[in-house]
A and B are shown apart, each in its own frame.
Chain A
Amino acid sequence: MDLQFKQAAAEEKRLPGTSGIWTFLFMDMIVFFAIFAVFASERSRIPAVYLSSQQQLNGWLGLANTIVLLTSSWFMVRAVQAARMNDCRAVRVNMNGAIAAALIFIISKSYEYYSKFLDGIGFTTNSFYSFYYFMTIVHLLHVIIGLIFINSIKIDIVKSRNVPNLSSVENIALFWHLVDILWIYIFTIVYLLGVRG
């Protein structure tokens, strides 16, 4: 009983993924923190411009995107759990779910950019939209990069009918969760905060 407890405790203290991915994620978080801080500074300088621009955004589309990414993260958690049990089929199914959700997110963001483009709103329209496009496009690049890695890891697992490297599955899942966290904050800061009804 005591041995089981010690084994469970040791498992709980294990670092998922590699230490390198945690360092990478933290650096990425620092970069986004800096972007958020500069956004706040600029917003405090010209709040009226930010407020009127913010009101042109579609909060419901943002809600849909958030639900899609949260669902994608849920699939990745389940993929990691399946990988730890070497259940290749469940890994494949859950990674396919994460990929499908990511594709929906990309299509949705593309539609949002296109509708803004039709309204004549671009990168240089004003300071708010410079931040809006910069933040969301950098985030979208994270989604696309994550999507490519998830797909390539899934293909490796399907080909080998095994989970050859658990750390790679955990690493991409950790990256994917960070993509989710960054979107939670982008959505809150850019779409929701400070809007006056």
Chain B
Amino acid sequence: MLRAPMSVTRIWIILIALTMVSVFTGESRALGIFSDPAIIILGSLKARWVVLDYMEARHVPGPWLVMFEAWLAAVAFVMCWIVLAT
């Protein structure tokens, strides 16, 4: 089913807001032990948004979307590894 894409400006505002929240979380550690998981989720969300809506990968034909989603998941795994090993 066709869905109206979110405007690029609205996505940009959301990306900037998520960036500010992640930096505030990282600098203040306001969420305690949940700070790093929050930073990982925010970073992954931002990257996925750029892939899906700025690169227009949401509807690309072929295996590209699966490959990009797999890469995003793999990097999220690496970020979890960093936190668990710290």
Given A13-B59, A26-B67, A188-B79, check contact A74 B36 (CB 8 Å).
no
Q: In whole Å, how far is A150's beta carbon from the nearest beta carbon of chain B?
A: 15
Residue contact B15 to A60, C-beta cutoff 8 Å: no
Q: In whole Å, how far is B22's beta carbon from the nearest beta carbon of chain A?
A: 6
Contact of A168 with B by CB under 8 A: no
Residue contact A188 to B40, C-beta cutoff 8 Å: yes
- Hey, what's the 0/1 contact readout for A62-74 against B, CB within 8 Å counting as 1? 1100110011011
- Hey, what's the 0/1 contact readout for B6-27 against A, CB within 8 Å counting as 1? 0011001001100110110011
Residue contact A184 to B46, C-beta cutoff 8 Å: yes
Bin the interface of chain A by size.
35 or more
Residue contact A73 to B64, C-beta cutoff 8 Å: no
Residues of chain A within 8 A (CB-CB) of B71 are 26, 29-30, 33
- Hey, what's the 0/1 contact readout for A9-45 against B, CB within 8 Å counting as 1? 1001111100000100010011001001101100110
Residue contact B8 to A59, C-beta cutoff 8 Å: no
Given A62-B23, A197-B28, check contact A47 B85 (CB 8 Å).
yes
Residue contact A67 to B16, C-beta cutoff 8 Å: yes
Could you say which of B9, B47, B54, B61 contacts A185, with CB atoms under 8 Å apart?
B47
Tell me how many residue pairs across A and B have CB atoms closer than 8 Å: 130
A15–B67 alpha-carbon span in the complex (Å) = 14
Given A15-B62, A15-B64, check contact A195 B26 (CB 8 Å).
yes
Residue contact B23 to A63, C-beta cutoff 8 Å: yes
Task: Give the residue name and chain of the B residue nearest to A175 (CB).
Answer: B55
Contact of A193 with B by CB under 8 A: yes
A69-90 residues at the B interface, CB under 8 angstroms: 70-71, 73-74, 76-78, 81
Given A9-B2, A16-B55, A16-B60, check contact A194 B19 (CB 8 Å).
no
Residues of chain B within 8 A (CB-CB) of A15 are 60-62, 64
Given A181-B47, A193-B40, A196-B29, check contact A67 B19 (CB 8 Å).
yes
B34-55 residues at the A interface, CB under 8 angstroms: 36, 39-40, 43, 46-47, 50-51, 54-55
Residues of chain A within 8 A (CB-CB) of B46 are 184
Residue contact A60 to B8, C-beta cutoff 8 Å: no
